[in-house]
Structure 1
Amino acid sequence: MPEKLRQILFFFIFSIAACYTSYTQPIIKETPAASHINTIQFLTDAEFAGVPILKIGEPISIAFDDTTGDESDYYYRISHYNFDWTPSALYKNEYLDGFDEIRIVTYENSFNTLQMYSHYTLNIPNEDTRRLKVSGNYLIEIYDDDDEVVFSRKFIVYEPLTTVKVYTKRSRDLKYINTKQSVQFEINSAREILRNPKQTVKTLVMKNNDINRGITNLKPQFTIADKLVYKYDQESSFWGGNEFLFFDSKDIRASTVSTRRIELDGIYHNYLYPNIVRANRKYTYNPDINGNFVIRNLDAEDNNVEADYVWMHFFLECYEPLDGGKIHLYGNFNNYTLDESTLLEYNEKDAIYYNKRLFKQGFYNYKYVLLRPDGTIDPGFISGNFDETENEYTVIPYYRAPGARYDRAIGKGVANSANITN
């Protein structure tokens, strides 16, 4: 075989193998928390609903409770990922200064609570894990002595190399002008030359930091000098939704504006007032914290270990046909995960949907969503969709320079739909 033909054949086979390898890379998904793991929090200078977004070099703390209360040993593992959440090509020492797979040594047992639990805190940096060297997507896994992952969470580390200006607009399609919010933005890269941006620059657009329902397929429409411009309408639009509902259990022994009845059976049970379908009603402004939660006990000096757990009872009056769908609780209290603990069952006797779930004392946002048989979530079926709804939108640009081996997160932009314009 001639040498030139051999080289062409080798290049062709190598290209096919590279494409196949790239295609078969698994996309990582978060591991939902085990039944005994509760109240997972990322504690940073800013409180996040959903996926945390950190500037490179910023410290981070992760806290969680084990309600078995037996002081079990837990360990952590950190991995780096590409923009699409496939494993990156970096070796661990290229993105991590120090070591992981280390036991979490900071924990305390609950004090003066009816529900016993152990409260764990992981701080990064620490003497073993000194810093994260590069930007991009990360996953942290918490696992036990049997190497079983009890939960994992995504987070994003970015470099402030670009300026991202974000705007919220009402839809230009009259069909959706009262129900959708469009996100438009500009990426100014004065400090970084972005070569061939339609191929090398990718963007993540999130509503209320819910990464599972973010938009990731947008390319720059045009460039002006060192600015990339994204002025999409429907392609970058989100359903407006409605303001989150809330309950406040800082005093689990007293009725509040949201709690109608209290019982003590082992631990406290709080019964909330029934909620109603808001989709067929006019929008009413009600301040919220965009799905987030805050732990607090009115009588505690240290909320981490003195806040108790309480069974919260939810009731929803809904007479709309579900067509095979299921109604779930939805919020950052469990990282926007829909599972058996969030499912509402229909009580035929009382003609109402009902759920009971364990929460640590605090202030919580929640809403009801419909999980359709095809696996899609309809956030407005119960709550409705309104262009006036206050939502926070975040845009993260990623850049992989020609020849680079990983996707860098190179900025962050935030806008609030309270400032929405036509």
Structure 2
Amino acid sequence: MIKKTLFILFFLTCHIISFSQTEEVSPPDFIKTITFKGSTSQAQLPILRLGEPFSLEFDALTGNEEDFYYKIEYFDFDWKPSQLVKGEYLKGIDNVRIINYLNSLNTYQMYSHYDLRIPNQQTRGLLKSGNYMITIYDDYDEVMFSRKFMIVEDVITVGVQAKRTRNFETINEKQIVNIKINSGSTNLNNPLETIKTLIIQNNNLNTAISDLKPQYTIGRELIYRYDDEASFWAGNEYLNFETKNVRTASLGIQFIDLKDLYHSYLFKQISRKNRPYTWNPDINGNFLVNVIDVDNIDIQADYTLVHFTLKENEFVDKDVYVYGNFNNFTIEDMTRMFYNRESGNYECILKLKQGFYNYKFVTVDLDGNLDEGAISGNFWQTENNYKVLVYYRDLGARFDRLIGFGETNSERIRN
């Protein structure tokens, strides 16, 4: 009986530990256009240098000038809570109200634009490299949303190379990523245990490959030349549209109508899975807020109702979603398409701020498995962006430093 009780307690403990990774919280439908901005540009996957200022911006479409607050937490490589206390990674305080916001101007959709800048008078800086999460909540302590971001210190150099897979079964559909880490003058103790890597395709943390071990050590270089373990489905180039001018149809838009808001009707799309690969420039799933003839894009860009249409036979055991970084690659009811049996089309309407957007159509089966290539296809020629993060926890250390960052794309992919 005692052995059985101990087994149950062990099983429950392991179960809790294995599911203790912290996930991001998606925003409600009245929170839109969440963006990070570093010191130089807008980024949907914020990888910042230690000491670099940044801002988190978003819109609240309630029109009530809501009060929002923020807190910042530090995490280990695997997104489990760190052992560090707040004073060890944050200079100053958090858990305070966001005071910088402006109301929209000359727009059909009323909203308030919030701009949280770090460092500020209360939060004077972040002291450690590694994984962070910022959480936004309201007056009632209800979490509105959370976003992950990373801070890197340049200690080592990371070489990244994208190649066509060597697996003949998927040679036309997959790409692999080779990594070379050069520690330079830094002594990395026992790298098989202390070094951890993360490979990210197109800024999407949901499909990242983590914690590959170095296969070879040559002097001060760690070599990673995996095939299957470091392979990604190549996908296809993203579709795109632009709504910077709501008075005339532009890129990807068939026509525009004005009702309560502007309605942008995109050209009907078809499946590209069994069609030849065609290159077209994209920004790998990202988006950029943009509008013409205004002084302040943040508050003068309007929201439009964007109509997506896909000509496709109805899937029996799968749902179809609109997919992209406009909502952090989240699979949610808002982006699920509904099948119109009268027209034979999948349809979806999303409220999006004026700008340039990438998107694709994906399927999710009854078990929750995502298939990015079910409608778009997978082609080894596809241009994808790959980022590699390298973490290090020295022997006896209490946290994972992010000591290196490398980046490449598959535009000139090699066999």
Please classify the TM superposition score into its range, dividing by the shorter chain length: over 0.9
Q: Which of the numbers 183, 187, 193 marks the counterpart of 1:199?
A: 193
Deviation of 1:69 after TM superposition, in Å, equals 1.5
Aligned 8 A contact 2:36 2:43 in 1: no
1:406 aligned residue (369, 388, 399): 399
Aligned counterparts, 1:335-354, within 5 A: 335-354=328-347
**Equivalent residue for 1:298?**
292
Q: Cα deviations across residues 16-55 of structure 1 (Å, max 9, x unaligned)?
A: 9xx9699367210000011110000101145466421111
Q: Is it true that 1:249 corresponds to 2:243 in the alignment?
A: yes
Equivalence map 1:97-112=2 (5 Å): 97-112=91-106
Superposed CA deviations along residues 163-199 of structure 1, whole A, max 9, x for unmatched, are 0000111111122111110000111111321111111
Identity %: 48
Residue 277 of structure 1 aligns with an amino acid whose one-letter code is S
Residue equivalent to 2:413: 420
After superposition, the CA RMSD in angstroms is 1.7
User: Which residue of 277, 282, 290 maps to 2:276?
Assistant: 282
Q: Which residue is 2:143 aligned to?
A: 149
Distance 1:300 1:323, change over 3 A: same
Q: Which amino acid aligns with 1:151?
A: F
SS in 2 for 1:30: coil
| 1:139-164 Cα shifts (integer Å, max 9, x gaps) | 00011100111110000111100100
For 1:323 and 1:216, how far apart are their aligned partners in 2? 33
How many pairs are equivalent? 405
Q: 128, 132, 135: which is aligned to 1:138?
A: 132
Partner of 1:218: 212
Tell me which residue corresponds to 1:377. 370
Q: Tell me the CA shift for residue 285 of structure 1.
A: 0.7
What is the aligned partner in structure 2 of residue 84 from structure 1?
78
Contact 1:124 1:130 in 2 (8 A): yes
> Matches of 2:119 and 2:147 in 1, distance apart?
17
* Structure ranking higher in strand proportion: 2
TM-score (norm 1): 0.93
In structure 2, the CA distance between the partners of 1:48 and 1:328, relative to structure 1 (3 Å rule), is: farther
Q: State the secondary structure of the residue aligned to 1:333.
A: helix
Q: In 2 relative to 1, CA 162–22 (structure 1 residues): closer, same or farther, beyond 3 Å?
A: farther
Q: Secondary structure at the match of 1:374?
A: coil
The 8 Å contact of residues 311 and 345 in structure 2, kept in 1 or not, is answered as: yes
Q: Per-residue CA shift, 1:87-108, capped at 9, x if unaligned?
A: 0000000000111011100000
The one of 25, 29, 34 aligned to 1:31 = 25
Note if contact 1:48-1:209 (Cα within 8 Å) is conserved in structure 2.
no
CA-CA distance at 1:67 after TM superposition: 0.3
Structure 1 residues 25 and 270 mapped into 2: Cα distance closer, same or farther (>3 Å)? closer
| Counterparts of 1:214 and 1:387, CA distance in 2 | 18
Identify if the C-alpha distance between structure 1 residues 136 and 315 changes in structure 2 by more than 3 Å, giving closer, same or farther. Answer: same
- Structure 1: which amino acid aligns with 2:20? P
- Secondary structure, in 3 states, of the residue corresponding to 2:72? strand
The question of whether the paired residues in 2 share the 8 Å contact of 1:50 and 1:210 is answered with no
1:49–1:209: 8 Å Cα contact kept in structure 2?
Answer: no
Q: 2:176 is matched by which residue type in structure 1?
A: S
Q: Cα offset for 1:200?
A: 1.1
Q: Contact (CA 8 Å) 1:268, 1:310: kept in 2 or not?
A: yes
* Cα distance change of structure 1 residues 41 and 277 upon mapping to structure 2, 3 Å threshold: same
The aligned residue for residue 4 of structure 1 is none
**Stretch deviating more after TM superposition (258-267 or 182-191):** 258-267
Match of 1:169 in 2: 163
Alignment correspondent of 2:3? none
Q: 1:167·1:415 contact (CA, 8 Å) conserved in 2?
A: yes
* SS state at 1:116 partner: coil
* CA distance in structure 1 between the partners assigned to 2:127 and 2:292 by the alignment: 40
Question: Following the alignment from structure 1 to structure 2, what is the Cα–Cα distance between the partners of residues 270 and 324?
Answer: 30
Shift, 1:250, TM fit: 0.6
1:387 and 2:366 matched? no
Seen in structure 2, the aligned counterparts of structure 1 residues 49 and 276 have a Cα distance that, compared at 3 Å, is farther
Given candidates 125, 142, 167, the residue that maps to 2:119 is: 125
**Do the aligned partners of 2:60 and 2:112 also contact (CA within 8 Å) in 1?**
yes
- Equivalent residue letter for 1:111: L
Q: Secondary structure at the match of 2:361?
A: strand
Alignment check: 8 A CA contact 2:321 2:337 kept:
yes
In the alignment, which residue of structure 2 is the partner of 1:6?
none
Structure 2: how far apart are the matches of 1:399 and 1:109?
44
CA distance in 1, matches of 2:351, 2:151: 32
For structure 1, the 5+ residue unaligned runs are 1-15
Give the letter for the 1:71 counterpart: E
1:178 aligns with 2:178: no
Partners of 1:389 and 1:46 in 2: CA distance = 27
- TM-score of the superposition, structure 2-length normalised? 0.95
Cα contact 2:36–2:44 (8 A) shared by 1 = no
Q: Distance in 1 between matches of 2:185 and 2:109?
A: 53
Describe the shift of the 1:104–1:201 C-alpha distance in structure 2 as closer, same or farther (beyond 3 A).
same
Separation in structure 2 between the aligned mates of residue 258 and residue 24 of structure 1, nearest angstrom: 44
